[in-house]
Structure 1
């Protein structure tokens, strides 16, 4: 059944006249007659009584006209809703973010995005980097922030932040005051690592393995603050992103660069390549690509 059949039929039913319907539709009268006849043939019924000068609806015609008007109204509402979605830029996105580090990146991004797209709702849920991929695969989030590398055959990526990992030690540690240290010099140090569901755990473990040793993990945690407090209490050392280390002015810790090898810490926004992305999701991703996030130095200093 063609939607035009219903449209033409509804116009003839409205005017009870083929000529007037033809003028209203800007379609030739023979075309309208042919379309309605095909509708009658398809349904196997007579919809119009053409015996009189003024066209009348049969009982079946009245029923079809009633339903046709509902369908045409729904179609008009659908078209209007789609146009409103695109033209008025509304929608909803659900985003997986990393605890703590995302607080340095996204407040300004979201504030700027909301000015341009006030009708798009952004919902953020905190996950570890490894959980982001799992939640996205399960359809629980539209896209998320994670640590590179990822499988680029499955995910598109938008780079967000690239920085180095640094060592944090207590003010009384033998490395306190040093500007840099080689990673291999840390082989006998007690490490405070993040748990295995955190990508940072794998990054640190792999770097140490490549340097020829396995880190002695005296404690593993999922809490940034707890990790840093333990270092401050002289219970061990830890490797964290420099942007996080710059926030620790209130603790009795110092930051030491790793001279060899430098360990990259790269964050990216990722999204599924093989799944439909909503209008709102595409606009948010495009906005981030055009406005790469930057960590505010003032914000770091206040912390």
Structure 2
């Protein structure tokens, strides 16, 4: 079977359009239509609904899509490995980084990596840890930073850093007089939180469930400067990593009682080929972590 139609099928599934799929793949739209029609004839199955303007996969098409994504991923990895055997000096790293780390921990690492490996292209995707893990599992990312709570069997991880989640309040908040803050006291306050799907929010939601409390979320935002500003002005309390707090932030942080520590790691798919570029990035990040 020619695998090109499988690429077309994946693009159609993502764009829900023959025209947009053709643009994404940089091919003529009739070529996409003809290839899909031939694939359907070869299989004796209808793969795509064409009854109305909304293009979508049939049940048979959805089942083939699962296999198509695996086949294309394996083929791309095979071609990459063969290219590297020829000693190519170029490469690409697609890495997912949660927002908090992307803003405060990784910028100097990424700049230093580019300085050491100027021919390697870095593609950095910021997002929630859950979203990034799914992108990693589907092959959209090569590496991703995750919170090493529950790691699926399909992923392998390397320890990165250990950070404490700290209760964060304005300098005149009553919590500033305490050495530690109990979860029960924390959940009596109006909270400034990241949106669902981010590790910051998931940790707080798990803690609330354990305490049988309902969080009073007054503000939801993924913008760390906004979280700081709202907290500084006394409109709520939050919880942030130590690395996020600067000396001039006019914020006070306190440990939870008991403290909450996060083990952050960088993960990749166990069954995938890890390119030389990605291996170099892993080694560089590990080296940087030891020297911090």
- Answering whether residue 270 of structure 2 is matched by residue 267 of structure 1, we say no
What is the distance in 2 between the residues matched to 1:275 and 1:232? 45
- For residues 15-94 of structure 1, what are the structure 2 equivalents within 5 Å? 82-85=85-88, 89-94=89-94
Q: 1:274 to 1:178 in 2, by over 3 A?
A: same
How many residue pairs match? The answer is 212
User: Per-residue CA shift, 1:205-244, capped at 9, x if unaligned?
Assistant: 2123323423222222222121221111211111111221
- Between the aligned partners of 2:82 and 2:162, the Cα distance in structure 1 is 43
Q: d(CA) in 2 for partners of 1:131 and 1:230?
A: 26
Contact 2:128 2:199 in 1 (8 A): yes
Report how far residue 133 of structure 1 moved: 1.1
The runs of at least 4 consecutive aligned structure 1 residues that moved more than 6 Å come to 78-81
DSSP-derived class of the 1:263 partner: strand
After TM superposition, list the pairs within 5 Å mapping 1:197-236 onto structure 2: 197-236=197-236
Q: CA deviation at 1:293?
A: 5.9
8 Å Cα contact 2:94-2:122 kept in structure 1:
yes
Deviation of 1:281 after TM superposition, in Å, equals 1.2
Does the aligned pair in 2 maintain the 1:171–1:254 contact within 8 Å?
yes
For each residue in 1:114-135, what CA deviation from the matched residue of structure 2 results, as whole angstroms up to 9, or x when unmatched?
4543322222122221221122
The question of whether the paired residues in 1 share the 8 Å contact of 2:98 and 2:198 is answered with no
How far off is 1:80 after superposition?
8.9
Q: Please report the RMSD computed on the Cα atoms of aligned residues, expressed in angstroms.
A: 2.5
Distance 2:185 2:284 in 1: 43
Counterpart Cα distance in 1 of 2:193 and 2:230 = 11
In structure 1, the partner of 2:36 is none
Counterparts of 1:281 and 1:79, CA distance in 2: 15
- Distance in 2 (CA, whole Å) between partners of 1:125 and 1:80 is 25
| Unpaired runs of at least 5, structure 2 | 1-80
Highest Rg: 1 or 2?
1
Quote the residue 2:126 is aligned against: 126
Find the aligned partners of 2:249 and 2:107 in 1 and give their Cα distance: 25
Compute the TM-score of the two structures, normalised by the length of structure 1.
Answer: 0.62
Q: 1:221 to 1:143 in 2, by over 3 A?
A: same
Deviations 1:1-55 (A, max 9, x none): xxxxxxxxxxxxxxxxxxxxxxxxxxxxxxxxxxxxxxxxxxxxxxxxxxxxxxx
Are the aligned partners of 1:105 and 1:294 in contact in 2 as well (CA < 8 Å)?
no
Aligned to 2:77: none
Separation in 2, partners of 1:293, 1:128: 25
Q: Say whether 1:180 aligns with 2:180.
A: yes
Give yes or no for contact 1:90–1:117 (8 Å, CA) kept in 2: no
Secondary structure of 1:255's counterpart equals strand
CA distance in 1, matches of 2:227, 2:113: 33
Residues 263 and 277 from structure 1, CA distance in 2 versus in 1: closer, same or farther, beyond 3 angstroms?
same
Change (3 A) 1:101 1:80: closer
Aligned to 1:282: 279
Contact 1:94 1:143 in 2 (8 A): yes
Report the CA distance shift for 1:81/1:159 in structure 2 as closer, same or farther (over 3 A). Answer: closer
